[in-house]
Amino acid sequence: MTGEIEKSHCFKVQNKFIVKSGCKKRMWRSLKQILTAERALPWPNDAVLYYSINAPPTFKPTKKYSDISGLPAPYVDRHSKLYYSNAEEFATVRSLPMDITAGYLQLRGANTIVG
Amino acid sequence: MEDVLVLKDLKTVQDIVHEYGPTLKFGHIPLVIDNGSYQCRVGWSVHDEPSLIFKNLIARPRKDRCKKDAEPPVTPPIQIGNDIINIEAVRFQLKSQFDKNVVTHFEVQEQVCDYIFSHLGIDSDGCIPHPIVMTEAFVTPNYSRQLMSELLFEAYGIPAVSYGVDSLFSFYRNDIGDTALIVNCGYHTIHIIPVIKGKVIEEHARRINLGGSEIVCYMHKLLQLKYPVHVNAITMSRIEEILHEHSSIALDYQEEIRKWANPDYYENNVIRVQLPFVQSTSSSGLTAEQQKERKKEMARRLLEINARKREERLAEDEEQLNQLLALQELIEDGDTDEFDEAIKGFDIKNYGDLQRQIGNLNMRIEKNKQRIAAAANAEETIETRPTGRFQPPTDPEAFQVWLNDTRAKYREVLVRREARRARRAAMVKRRTAAAAERMRAISRLAAAGDDFGYRDSDWDVYKSISREADSDSEADGERLVELEEALREHEPPQPSHHRHQLHLAIEPYRAPELMFQPSMMGNLEAGLTETMEYIFKHFSDEEQLLLANNVFITGGCSQFPGLKERLERELLEMRPFQSSHKVVMAKNPSLDAWYGARDFAGSNEFENFCMSKEEYYEMGGEYLKEHHASNKYYKSPAPIVDNTLAPAGDANVVKEEIVVDC
């Protein structure tokens, strides 16, 4: 900023955060970074912060639903790891291509090796 | 039964630039901004309704790179909010200032603010002469608030600002007493906030990190996986429409899905959604029969052209032959002078040359004549050739029988092939029945005496032990292709709009159920019910009863039909036997936060709850004036200056020696 104040509208004092294209962009902290920085501070005990009101983890056993139909699923296909509810669905599960089974697993958040 | 939903695919309407009249301009009227992560609602505190409602998004199109360097690349304008007419066209360029429910990207926020103020028609010079009421997330990090204040005071020169929490504004707007358990279902989060006698109990409030956007994404992915063919037609905005209009929360999810397992129930209740489709070009008003005719006609014409060409060539050759024969006659008559004169016109040097050329021509004529005869024969054979093994009868009834018959045959071949494949697959593995059978056959083969091979069927044993595809399957494969072709040709075509339909069964219940069972998408947090139960445990019995008797639902995502009934049922299960409970819906779940903030801005005490410019410079950006609907202000403590690490020889530092054996 060299003397002259940039602004795009008459009602503005100046452009505060908008940078011209081509100039170096300011890196914005993500919420996660903001929270980590916030956590590092020595807060008094009674302060309620963003991270301290997260919902508790679930204590109830999670129910299993068939990935393709949503029906209650007592079985799991060992090959693709998909849940299914009956023989008919099993045939469908077995005929699904890899990308679809991977998509279903990802949707259920079960695509990672851990957990 | 044909009750098909057609998607509306609503287009956004661009916002007009509102009039900035003198009453607004000189009246020091507060401006109310409900800055939500889904929608932003903006309006004056003296108006009944917000002037602007738009999705809090901007689309920054990429520069045109295809243009040559000759002219500088034209930067397409940034589209903001309702400027975005077709959101699907710019889906990948969308940006939001929000990370979850907190504003983090302030460059985008500044662009959105520019959009807001310019569309309100504000034309004052160098400042916005209005105090602003701005909503923020429950327990917003100070860092985020500080940047927001910086933006408002330093870029726009506003005189004062007051921050509040959307769900609390909505709660006071609905005027349902001063004690309640607020359940605010937002776009990225669900907040459950207990309020007792007008006091917000922050330490027992909880946030589930899941909201409308997750529900939309879940449904989107679910349907894309169910209909991989229509991946591109299943867009986020269409899913949003389906969720807004045809989705609801099941009273008892287990009961609901049990009902859907019944095929009759499915058939009667499934929702059919029509996707837009283009009539395929092949059926351009012509039936298969007509197309066949046309093809035949073209082939015939081609043959005719060829025949005509051959005849012309034949006539040419014959004429040349006649001329050459005339020359030959000349020489035979002994007229050498005249012959020499005549051959100048032709490319002939002497008598021998002439003779050779005559021979060539004769051969050519002969060949051409043969070809013409062959072509004539071929034409006849084309007429008589049968057009396929599977010629259906023309009589409609017989046709139906034939069609069913062909289908049955097709299936039979298919089943046979499947069985063979399964057997082969099993044969490769050890310890299967098929593998054992194969070994038995091999050992029997080894023990077979000299009479092996007398009967033809003896050789079949090789087929049964072969791991490769055998000749039987080849024949079957051919037959399969033949049957497939016949069926494709003669099967009455399914109307093409049927192929562009989505069948929604459990899905409209399954997606919003995420609020109660986040585990369905791999989120390990407790659901709405469990979190409420958890919060209740922190209060005394009397307080619990007060809270349970005033459960207040608000937020855009709470508009799923059935949420109120579901919560009532869950409370009945969760609360002690015969204790009372009550669930209240906000009158307008998505707009009540704005209305509440407007009422607040119009109240007499408003001035006292504003942070002025002077206070901003004195207290810093993270400061806020607390009021009944605001967050609590905790001043950020100074960061710990860690002295312990500075001196190297500190006695407190435990040294560990690691000896590495080589």
B177, B160 Cβ separation under 8 angstroms: no
Determine the Cα angle at B529 with ends B524 and B530, to 5°.
50
Q: How long, in residues, is chain A? A: 115
Specify the pLDDT at position B391.
67
B242, B273 Cβ separation under 8 angstroms: yes
Specify the pLDDT at position B518.
94
Specify the pLDDT at position B472.
62
Distance CA B44, CA B113 (A): 15
Read off the pLDDT of residues B555-608 as tens digits, 9 standing for 90 and up. 999 999 999 999 999 999 999 998 999 999 999 999 999 999 999 999 999 999
Cβ distance A62 to B203 less than 8 Å, yes or no, reads no
3 state SS of A54: strand
Q: Predicted confidence band at B56 (pLDDT cuts at 50, 70, 90)? A: very high
Query: Which amino acid, residue B568?
Result: E
| Residue B34, number of CB atoms within 10 A of its CB | 27
Minimal CA separation from B375 to chain A, in Å: 51
Instruction: Provide the mean pLDDT of chain B.
Output: 86
pLDDT above 60: residue B69:
no
Measured between CB atoms, which of B107, B205, B518 is closest to A53? B205
In sequence order, which residues have a C-beta less than 8 Å from that of residue B425 and are 6 or more positions away?
A: none
Measured between CB atoms, which of A16, A65, A109 is closest to B522? A109
Q: What percent of chain A has pLDDT over 90?
A: 61
* Contacts with A, B 23-42, CB within 8 Å: none
pTM, full prediction: 0.74
Determine the Cα angle at A35 with ends A34 and A38, to 5°.
90
Distance CA B313, CA B318 (A): 9
Question: Stretch B264-278: mean pLDDT, rounded?
Answer: 88
B501, B420 Cβ separation under 8 angstroms: no
Measured between CB atoms, which of A12, A30, A42 is closest to B637? A42
Question: Stretch B464-482: mean pLDDT, rounded?
Answer: 72
B73, B65 Cβ separation under 8 angstroms: yes
Minimal CA separation from B445 to chain A, in Å: 36
Distance CA B283, CA A54 (A): 58
Cβ distance A71 to B111 less than 8 Å, yes or no, reads no
> Comparing C-alpha atoms, which of A1, A43, A40, A45 is closest to residue A23?
A1
Residues of B in contact with A106 (CB under 8 A): 221
pLDDT above 60: residue B383:
no
Read off the pLDDT of residues B313-369 as tens digits, 9 standing for 90 and up. 999 999 988 888 888 887 777 777 777 777 777 777 777 888 888 888 899 999 988
Q: Predicted confidence band at A1 (pLDDT cuts at 50, 70, 90)? A: very low
Read off the pLDDT of residues B104-141 as tens digits, 9 standing for 90 and up. 999 999 999 999 999 999 998 889 999 999 999 999 99
Q: Does B370 touch chain A (CB under 8 A)?
A: no
Minimal CA separation from A28 to chain B, in Å: 6
B82, B57 Cβ separation under 8 angstroms: no
Q: Does B631 touch chain A (CB under 8 A)?
A: no
What are the helix (H) ranges across A19-70?
31-39
Which comes out higher in pLDDT, residue A65 or B394?
A65
Q: Does B247 touch chain A (CB under 8 A)?
A: no
In sequence order, which residues have a C-beta less than 8 Å from that of residue A1 and are 6 or more positions away?
A: none
Distance CA B448, CA B425 (A): 27
Read off the pLDDT of residues B221-238 as tens digits, 9 standing for 90 and up. 999 999 999 999 999 999
Q: How would you class B134 by CB atoms within 10 Å of its CB: exposed for 0-12, middle for 13-18, buried for 19 or more?
A: buried
Read off the pLDDT of residues A29-81 as tens digits, 9 standing for 90 and up. 999 999 999 999 999 988 999 999 999 999 999 999 999 999 999 999 988 89
Specify the pLDDT at position B501.
87
Distance CA B612, CA B162 (A): 9
Read off the pLDDT of residues B172-215 as tens digits, 9 standing for 90 and up. 999 999 999 999 999 999 999 999 999 999 999 999 999 999 99
Q: Does A91 touch chain B (CB under 8 A)?
A: no
> Do β-strands B551-554 and B39-44 pair in parallel, antiparallel, or remain unpaired?
unpaired
Residues B214-231: b if buried by 16+ CB within 10 A, e if exposed: bbbbbbbbbbbbbbeebe
In sequence order, which residues have a C-beta less than 8 Å from that of residue B452 and are 6 or more positions away?
A: B445, B458
Read off the pLDDT of residues A70-110 as tens digits, 9 standing for 90 and up. 999 999 998 889 999 999 999 999 989 999 999 999 999 88
Specify the pLDDT at position B379.
62
3 state SS of B531: helix
Residues of B in contact with A55 (CB under 8 A): 206-209, 525-526, 531, 534
Read off the pLDDT of residues B81-94 as tens digits, 9 standing for 90 and up. 898 888 888 888 89
Distance CA B343, CA B324 (A): 9
Q: Predicted confidence band at B386 (pLDDT cuts at 50, 70, 90)? A: very low
Q: Predicted confidence band at B393 (pLDDT cuts at 50, 70, 90)? A: confident
Q: Does A4 touch chain B (CB under 8 A)?
A: no
Minimal CA separation from B142 to chain A, in Å: 8
In sequence order, which residues have a C-beta less than 8 Å from that of residue B586 and are 6 or more positions away?
A: B170, B173, B174, B552, B553, B554, B555, B558, B592
Name beta bridge partners: B521.
none
Specify the pLDDT at position B381.
58
Residues of A in contact with B642 (CB under 8 A): none
Measured between CB atoms, which of A12, A52, A59 is closest to B155? A12
pLDDT above 90: residue B144:
yes
Distance CA B27, CA B32 (A): 15
Q: Predicted confidence band at B10 (pLDDT cuts at 50, 70, 90)? A: confident
Question: Stretch B56-82: mean pLDDT, rounded?
Answer: 71
CA distances (Å), origin B422, targets B122, B215, B418, B467: 75, 40, 6, 12
pLDDT above 50: residue B287:
yes
Distance CA B179, CA B551 (A): 9
Q: Predicted confidence band at A3 (pLDDT cuts at 50, 70, 90)? A: very low
Specify the pLDDT at position B387.
47
pLDDT above 80: residue B284:
no
Q: Which two tokens stand for residue B651?
A: 């006695």
Read off the pLDDT of residues B406-456 as tens digits, 9 standing for 90 and up. 888 888 888 888 888 787 777 777 778 888 888 888 888 888 777 777 777
Q: Which two tokens stand for residue B306?
A: 């060829």
Cβ distance A108 to B125 less than 8 Å, yes or no, reads no
B223, B594 Cβ separation under 8 angstroms: no
Specify the pLDDT at position B494.
64
> Comparing C-alpha atoms, which of A115, A105, A32 is closest to residue B209?
A32
Q: Which two tokens stand for residue B254?
A: 């287990």
Question: Stretch B450-471: mean pLDDT, rounded?
Answer: 73
Q: Which two tokens stand for residue A98?
A: 């890899």
Q: How far is CA B528 from the centre of its chain?
A: 28
> Do β-strands A83-84 and A75-76 pair in parallel, antiparallel, or remain unpaired?
antiparallel
Minimal CA separation from B522 to chain A, in Å: 4
Specify the pLDDT at position B493.
65
Measured between CB atoms, which of B104, B151, B506 is closest to A31? B104
Q: Provide the 8-state DSSP code for B226.
A: H
pLDDT above 60: residue A111:
yes
Q: Predicted confidence band at A2 (pLDDT cuts at 50, 70, 90)? A: very low
Distance CA A99, CA A81 (A): 13
pLDDT above 70: residue B660:
no
Q: Which two tokens stand for residue B331?
A: 């020489």
The Cβ-side half-sphere exposure at B568, using a 13 Å CA radius, reads: 10
Distance CA B2, CA A29 (A): 52
Specify the pLDDT at position B66.
55
Name beta bridge partners: B5.
B273
**Given CA atoms B492, B497, B499, B503 in this order, what sign does their dihedral have?**
negative
Distance CA B114, CA B119 (A): 8
Cβ distance B143 to A16 less than 8 Å, yes or no, reads no
> Comparing C-alpha atoms, which of A18, A23, A22, A7 is closest to residue B73?
A22
CA distances (Å), origin B359, targets A13, B92, B324: 102, 76, 11
Q: Predicted confidence band at B283 (pLDDT cuts at 50, 70, 90)? A: very low
Minimal CA separation from A77 to chain B, in Å: 18
Minimal CA separation from B463 to chain A, in Å: 27
Cβ distance A100 to B225 less than 8 Å, yes or no, reads yes
